[in-house]
Amino acid sequence: MNLHKTNRLSLVEQVVLQIEELIESGKWSVGTKIPPEPVLMEELGVSRNTLREAIRALVHAGLLKTRQGDGTHVCSSSVLGAVLIKRIRQSTLVETLEVRHALEYQAALLAAHRRTDEDVKNISSHLNACEKAAADGDMEGYVRADLNLHLAIAEATHNGILIELYENMMEAIQLSVNSLMEITPQSDIYQETHHQMVEAIIEKDADQAVEAVNAYIKQYMKEVEQKWEERS
pLDDT digits (tens, 9 = 90+) for 83-97: 777 777 777 888 888
Secondary element (H or E) of residue 175: helix 160-183
Whole-number pLDDT of residue 8:
67
Handedness of CA 19, 25, 28, 29 (dihedral sign): positive
pLDDT tens digit string along 48-61?
Answer: 999 999 999 999 88
pLDDT tens digit string along 179-218?
Answer: 666 666 555 677 889 999 999 999 999 999 999 999 999 9
Percentage, residues of the chain above pLDDT 90: 50
Q: Are 147 and 177 in contact (CB under 8 A)?
A: yes
Q: Is the pLDDT of residue 20 over 60?
A: yes
pLDDT tens digit string along 29-45?
Answer: 888 999 999 999 999 99
pLDDT tens digit string along 118-131?
Answer: 999 999 999 999 99
DSSP 100-118: HHHHHHHHHHHHHHH--HH
Report the alpha-carbon distance of residue 57 to residue 55 in Å, rounded. 5
Mean pLDDT, range 5-31, rounded to an integer: 84
Q: Is 48 helix (H, G, I), strand (E, B) or coil?
A: helix
- In this structure, how many other beta carbons lie within 10 angstroms of the beta carbon of residue 57? 17
Q: Is the pLDDT of residue 225 over 60?
A: yes
Q: 158 vs 231, which has greater pLDDT? A: 158
Question: CB under 8 Å to 1, separation ≥6 — which residues?
Answer: none
Domain boundaries, the chain: 11-77, 81-231
pTM: 0.72
Q: How far is CA 5 from CA 1, 11, 12, 17, 184, in A?
A: 13, 18, 20, 21, 57
Bridge-partner residues for 67, per DSSP?
71
Q: Are 198 and 127 in contact (CB under 8 A)?
A: yes
> Which band of pLDDT confidence, cut at 50, 70 and 90, is reported for residue 28?
very high
Report the alpha-carbon distance of residue 75 to residue 62 in Å, rounded. 7
- Domain 11-77, classified CATH 1.10.287.70, yes or no: no
Q: Which of 123-127, 144-148, 170-174 has the highest mean pLDDT?
A: 123-127
Q: Is the pLDDT of residue 1 over 80?
A: no
* Mean of per-residue pLDDT scores for the chain: 86
- In this structure, how many other beta carbons lie within 10 angstroms of the beta carbon of residue 217? 18
> Which band of pLDDT confidence, cut at 50, 70 and 90, is reported for residue 6?
very low
Mean pLDDT, range 131-142, rounded to an integer: 87
| Third-level CATH fold of 81-231 | Four Helix Bundle (Hemerythrin (Met), subunit A) (1.20.120)
Mean pLDDT, range 16-26, rounded to an integer: 90
